[in-house]
């Protein structure tokens, strides 16, 4: 473990210094978070499902929260007398986009290591936001991206490596902000279950810490792609999977998840076709656009909700709105796989 980026947090990182140094962040900051907690279709006779709708964040995903948290933490830790702040991380998606946008807004250089399979739309957005990009072979997936980011840091120590998989600001944001928001929105009603897709595990572990403080018997369930499940010993093979989540391969476990509870966290595995089908189905049912990890969480939450009574509530995370092209692809899979909501 790299202790340089292991940064214990008392609460979510204090944004005061960042807002004072970069007043252009103020409107972003005011638009961040306080996302709706919305009831979504759940199983007849089972628990109700409430989803945190994160696409209303300024850059469109839950990662706006953690990018801003790690950004503020970096500003707080950086010695500006030694030189400008320059941010580096490995991210294939929403985190990279949010960091690039924040860097561009504040004229802070951002270097991102991304897989070479990243869609052109993402690459163009990152380039337009002036991010420096290093593309790595998608076969190596997360561990390969992290290793490359570490190498860049070794070659030029002036980059601050954020290391979202180890950066405790990531978990702290979810424990002290996302989780506290959910508790306020529940207004005293009990959360019986918590379900989230695991990329870094920051969302699953941070919100869990907040919710379990109100209900010690809270059930927790992770969601990862069937093609690359949590803790799989298989090496990454570049197969398609729903975006934003996945095991690391080679038996590695996301550090935030390993020490979360005394017992193992159970996982629901959702294949790419199932996730796209559920994206399409959810839009047909509700008129609301949700992304692949949200659709996978919906399916996962549905499974947990079936095992709980109608007085219970399962909370889950809808991290982004996904793309229309993925939703359209989902129609074919839906006609073959059938509904989640029966
Ligand atoms: C769409 C989407 N869902 C879920 C996640 C997983 O979040 P976490 O890294 O907190 O586990 C991510 C992370 O990038 C994401 O982009």
For the segment 62-116, what is each residue's pLDDT rounded down to a tens digit? 999 999 999 999 999 999 999 999 999 999 799 999 999 999 999 999 999 999 9
Question: Do 185 and 313 form a contact (C-beta atoms < 8 A)?
Answer: no
**Cα 287 to ligand 1 centre (Å):** 23
pLDDT band of residue 327 (cuts 50, 70, 90) is: very high
Q: What is the pLDDT of residue 298?
A: 98
93 lines ligand 1 (CB under 6 A): yes
What's the domain count of the chain? 2
Would the pLDDT of 5 be above 90? no
Structural domain ending residue among the three candidates 99, 134, 161? 161
Residues 83 and 201 in one domain: no
Q: What is the pLDDT of residue 2?
A: 61
Residues 237 and 324 in one domain: yes
Residues 227 and 120 in one domain: no
Q: What is the pLDDT of residue 237?
A: 85
Residues 192 and 47 in one domain: yes
Position 166 in a domain: no
166 lines ligand 1 (CB under 6 A): no
Residues 266 and 244 in one domain: yes
Residues 229 and 300 in one domain: yes
Residue nearest to ligand 1 atom 2, measured at CA: 244
291 lines ligand 1 (CB under 6 A): yes
Would the pLDDT of 140 be above 90? no
Would the pLDDT of 128 be above 80? yes
Would the pLDDT of 3 be above 60? no
Please tell me the least confidently modeled range out of 137-146, 151-160, 196-205. 137-146
Q: Which atom of ligand 1 is nearest to the CA of 291?
A: 1
Q: What is the pLDDT of residue 104?
A: 98
Residues 102 and 222 in one domain: no
Position 129 in a domain: yes
225 lines ligand 1 (CB under 6 A): no
Q: Which atom of ligand 1 is nearest to the CA of 206?
A: 10
Average pLDDT over residues 310-320: 98
pTM over 0.85: yes
200 lines ligand 1 (CB under 6 A): yes
Question: Do 277 and 271 form a contact (C-beta atoms < 8 A)?
Answer: no
Position 187 in a domain: yes
Q: Mean of the per-residue pLDDT values for the chain?
A: 95
244 lines ligand 1 (CB under 6 A): yes
Residues 189 and 49 in one domain: yes
Structural domain ending residue among the three candidates 161, 185, 207? 161
Instruction: Say which residue, 301 or 140, is predicted with more confidence.
Output: 301
Residues 127 and 223 in one domain: no
Among 197, 198, 241, 272, the mutation site with the greatest number of ligand 1 atoms within 8 A of its Cβ is: 197
95 lines ligand 1 (CB under 6 A): yes
Average pLDDT over residues 146-175: 96
CATH code of the domain containing 270: 3.40.50.1100
Position 6 in a domain: no
Residues 124 and 188 in one domain: no
Average pLDDT over residues 149-164: 96
- Domain extent, residue 117, equals 64-161
Q: Which tens digits make up the pLDDT trace of 259-305?
A: 888 889 999 999 999 999 999 999 999 999 999 999 999 999 999 99
295 lines ligand 1 (CB under 6 A): no
Q: What is the pLDDT of residue 59?
A: 97
320 lines ligand 1 (CB under 6 A): yes
Residue nearest to ligand 1 atom 1, measured at CA: 244
Structural domain ending residue among the three candidates 108, 130, 161? 161
Q: Which tens digits make up the pLDDT trace of 165-221?
A: 999 999 999 999 999 999 999 999 999 999 999 999 999 999 999 999 999 999 999
Q: Which tens digits make up the pLDDT trace of 215-261?
A: 999 999 999 999 999 999 999 888 899 999 999 999 999 999 998 88
Residues 224 and 289 in one domain: yes
Write out the chain in H/E/C secondary structure: CCHHHCCCCCCCCCCHHHHHHCHHHHHHHHHCCCCCEEEECCCCCCCEEEEEEHHHCCCCECHHHHHHHHHHHHHHHCCHHHCCCCEEEECCCHHHHHHHHHHHHHCCCEEEEEECCCCHHHHHHHHHCCCEEEEECHHHHHHHHHHHHHHHHHHCCCCEECCCCCCHHHHHHHHHHHHHHHHHHHCCCCCCEEEEECCCCHHHHHHHHHHHCCCCCCEEEEEEECCCCCCCCCCCCCCCCCCCCCCCCCCCCCHHHHCCCCCCCCEEEECHHHHHHHHHHHHHHHCCCCCHHHHHHHHHHHHHHHCCCCCCEEEEEECECCCHHHHHHHHHHHHHHCCCCC
**Cα 83 to ligand 1 centre (Å):** 32
Among 57, 94, 163, the mutation site with the greatest number of ligand 1 atoms within 8 A of its Cβ is: 94
Would the pLDDT of 1 be above 70? no
């Amino acid at each position: 473990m790299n202790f340089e980026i292991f940064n214990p947090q008392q609460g979510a990182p204090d944004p005061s210094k960042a807002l004072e140094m970069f007043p252009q962040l103020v409107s972003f900051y005011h638009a961040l978070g306080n996302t709706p907690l919305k009831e979504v279709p759940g199983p007849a006779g089972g628990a109700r499902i409430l989803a945190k709708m994160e696409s209303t964040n300024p850059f469109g995903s839950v990662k706006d929260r953690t990018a801003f948290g790690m950004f503020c933490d970096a500003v707080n830790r950086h010695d500006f007398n030694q030189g400008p702040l320059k941010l580096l991380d490995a991210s294939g998606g929403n985190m990279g986009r949010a960091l690039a946008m924040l860097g561009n807004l504040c004229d802070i250089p951002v270097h991102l290591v991304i897989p070479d399979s990243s869609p052109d739309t993402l690459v163009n957005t990152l380039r337009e936001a002036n991010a420096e990009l290093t593309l790595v072979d998608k076969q190596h997936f997360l561990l390969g991206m992290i290793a490359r980011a570490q190498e860049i840091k070794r070659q030029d120590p002036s980059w601050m490596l954020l290391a979202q998989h180890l950066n405790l600001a990531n978990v702290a944001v979810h424990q002290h902000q996302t989780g506290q928001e959910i508790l306020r929105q529940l207004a005293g009603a009990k959360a019986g279950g918590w379900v989230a897709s695991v990329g870094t595990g920051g969302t699953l572990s941070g919100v869990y810490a907040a919710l379990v403080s109100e209900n010690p018997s809270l059930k927790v369930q992770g969601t990862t792609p069937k093609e690359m499940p949590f803790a799989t010993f298989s090496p990454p093979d570049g197969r398609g999977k729903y975006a934003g989540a996945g095991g690391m391969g080679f038996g590695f476990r996301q550090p935030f998840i390993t020490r979360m509870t005394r017992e193992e966290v159970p996982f629901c595995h959702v294949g790419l076709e199932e996730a796209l089908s559920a994206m399409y189905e959810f839009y047909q049912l509700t008129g609301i656009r949700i992304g692949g990890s949200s659709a996978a969480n919906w399916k996962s939450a549905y499974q947990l909700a079936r095992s709980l009574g109608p007085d219970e509530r399962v909370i889950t995370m809808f991290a982004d709105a996904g793309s229309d092209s993925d939703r359209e692809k989902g129609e074919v899979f839906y006609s073959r796989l059938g509904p989640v909501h029966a």
